[in-house]
Amino acid sequence: MPVTPVLTRRWSAPESWTLATYERLDGYQGLRRALAQGPDDLIKLIKDSGLRGRGGAGFPTGMKWGFIPQGDGKPHYLVINADEGEPGTCKDAPLMKADPHSLIEGIVIAAYAVRASRAFVYLRGELIHAARRLRAAVAEAYQAGYLGRDILGSGFDLDLVIHSGAGAYICGEETALLDSLEGRRGQPRLRPPFPATHGLYASPTVVNNVETIATVPFIVNYGVDWFRSMGRERSPGPKIYSLSGHVTRPGQYEAPMGTTLRELLDLAGGVLGGRKLKAWTPGGSSTPLLTADHLDAPLDFEGVQEAGSLLGTAALMIMDETVDMLPVVRRLTQFYAHESCGKCTPCREGTTWMVQILSRMERGQGDPDDVDTLVDACDNIFGRAFCALADGATSPIVSGIKFFRNEFLPITPANPSGSTTSVAGSANGATAGGAAAGTPGAYAGAH
């Protein structure tokens, strides 16, 4: 499959993170073009391009920019979501490390379009190296006149602040992020009102993902037709897919939207050790698991939905045939219980109880009714909690049980592949498949 890198094309250049390299490779040309146009023309361009947010939900970016009220006399803000906490997701951090100026250029263009004179990058606390690169690049951009007062003589002013969070997954949820940025405890806000009118400091705010904004300079430079020549009708453009887990060459693979896992695995050398694919996440741990039956699903927003899951962050965690699903699902559920902000009961209590049930199943102390109890609990959590973290927490459980139900049921003569013993304390407590291959550590390190 021919793949022409767009977003990642500078990553292998020597000192790719410096301004000198960036300028040599067409850097800040998009900004010059953008500043020669009116802000509304830019919003229209991004609308026409069909660019959709790369932070997980796929919201149309131009439409989001268009929601910002004009002439309201309030300050406008642009906030970049660089929290990247979804397990398996590893695209924004490498992008900021390898090519920080592409993000900065996108920020200046986006801020100009939505008439913001102050922008923030909210960076996940653990991304220390990315923060260093980004701060150094911001200093270079100020020095060169791409940030600050009267940018490139256009009369447009923009200040950019890089803010490191403290490593809480919930602070990736855009309204929790805004509370955290304001110095409060990071918990989601009630909506409406939406950030477009009442965002940071109760002012109109656009929140966009790193990859979304880093895509913008390319669209300004090369145009709508070029952008739409990649990907599919409703999900155009290039995309960075993160492959981790049981794959021969894990890493970031850029390909047009709609590329299949089969094609990506070809690029990545296949499943590790030539083993068979058992399960995978198309968009991080909060998206329902898929199986080898879905290898040919187009990985774009519609294609993955048709296959029964979500594209999310395009974080493909690959699990081979040796993996025991129960420890995987238990570990992921523990993640959500740990990261639940505690604001609402279904999520705070539900995730904690589900970890307890899954843990006792894993210890061989499960009850034959546990599977139904878990499905019922997920049914009561999904759509009934304050934010999407709780919905995401149900995904591994519901999809794991859907495809691998036997592994969650007690071992009985009729179900020899079950995960646990049916009787508490029985000596026959070995987990099918062995815990070693199924430990999330197999992919957690790639995050």
Ligand X SMILES: Cc1cc2nc3c(=O)[nH]c(=O)nc-3n(C[C@H](O)[C@H](O)[C@H](O)COP(=O)(O)O)c2cc1C
50 binds ligand X (CB under 6 A): no
Compare residues 172 and 366 and give the one whose CB is closer to ligand SF4. Answer: 172
Q: Give the Cα separation of 177 and 184 in Å (integer).
A: 10
Compare residues 52 and 278 and give the one whose CB is closer to ligand X. Answer: 52
CB under 6 A: which stretch of 202-210, 218-226, 252-260, 342-350 binds ligand X? 202-210
Residue from the set 51, 177, 311, 341 that interacts with ligand SF4 by CB under 6 A: 341
81 binds ligand X (CB under 6 A): yes
**CB contact at 8 A, 197 and 69:** yes
Compare residues 261 and 387 and give the one whose CB is closer to ligand SF4. Answer: 387
Q: Give the Cα separation of 121 and 77 in Å (integer).
A: 11
Compare residues 83 and 254 and give the one whose CB is closer to ligand SF4. Answer: 83
User: Residue 388: is it exposed, middle or buried by C-beta count within 10 angstroms (0-12/13-18/19+)?
Assistant: middle
Choosing among ligand X, ligand SF4, none, which partner's interface includes residue 172 (Cβ < 5 to 8 Å by kind)? ligand X
Name the minimum Å distance from CB 52 to ligand X. 8
Taking CB under 6 A as the rule, which mask of x and - marks residues 387-426 in contact with ligand SF4? x-xx------------------------------------
Tokens, residue 330: 């238990």
Residue from the set 39, 106, 165, 172 that interacts with ligand X by CB under 6 A: 172
CB under 6 A: which stretch of 35-43, 304-312, 371-379, 383-391 binds ligand X? 383-391
Choosing among ligand SF4, ligand X, none, which partner's interface includes residue 208 (Cβ < 5 to 8 Å by kind)? ligand X
Residues 239, 243, 249, CA angle at the centre, nearest 5°? 120
User: Residue 87: is it exposed, middle or buried by C-beta count within 10 angstroms (0-12/13-18/19+)?
Assistant: buried
Q: Give the Cα separation of 57 and 78 in Å (integer).
A: 18
**Total Cβ atoms within 10 A of residue 296:** 11
80 binds ligand SF4 (CB under 6 A): no
Choosing among ligand SF4, ligand X, none, which partner's interface includes residue 9 (Cβ < 5 to 8 Å by kind)? none
Compare residues 212 and 235 and give the one whose CB is closer to ligand X. Answer: 212
At residue 71, φ and ψ (nearest 5 deg) are: 65, 30
Q: How far is CA 295 from CA 259, 279, 314, 414, in A?
A: 10, 10, 14, 31
Q: Give the Cα separation of 229 and 42 in Å (integer).
A: 19
259 binds ligand SF4 (CB under 6 A): no
- List binders of ligand X among 206-235 (CB under 6 A): 207-209, 212
CB under 6 A: which stretch of 84-92, 240-248, 294-302, 328-336 binds ligand X? 84-92
Choosing among ligand SF4, ligand X, none, which partner's interface includes residue 342 (Cβ < 5 to 8 Å by kind)? ligand SF4
Compare residues 386 and 404 and give the one whose CB is closer to ligand SF4. Answer: 386
Residue from the set 20, 38, 59, 70 that interacts with ligand X by CB under 6 A: 59
- List binders of ligand X among 299-358 (CB under 6 A): none
Choosing among ligand X, ligand SF4, none, which partner's interface includes residue 85 (Cβ < 5 to 8 Å by kind)? ligand X
Q: Give the Cα separation of 249 and 136 in Å (integer).
A: 30
Choosing among ligand SF4, ligand X, none, which partner's interface includes residue 390 (Cβ < 5 to 8 Å by kind)? ligand SF4
343 binds ligand SF4 (CB under 6 A): yes
347 binds ligand SF4 (CB under 6 A): yes
Tell me which residues touch ligand X (CB under 6 A): 53-57, 59, 81, 83-86, 169-170, 172-174, 207-209, 212, 387-389
The residues that touch ligand SF4, with contacts defined as CB under 6 A, are 170, 188, 340-344, 347-348, 385-387, 389-390
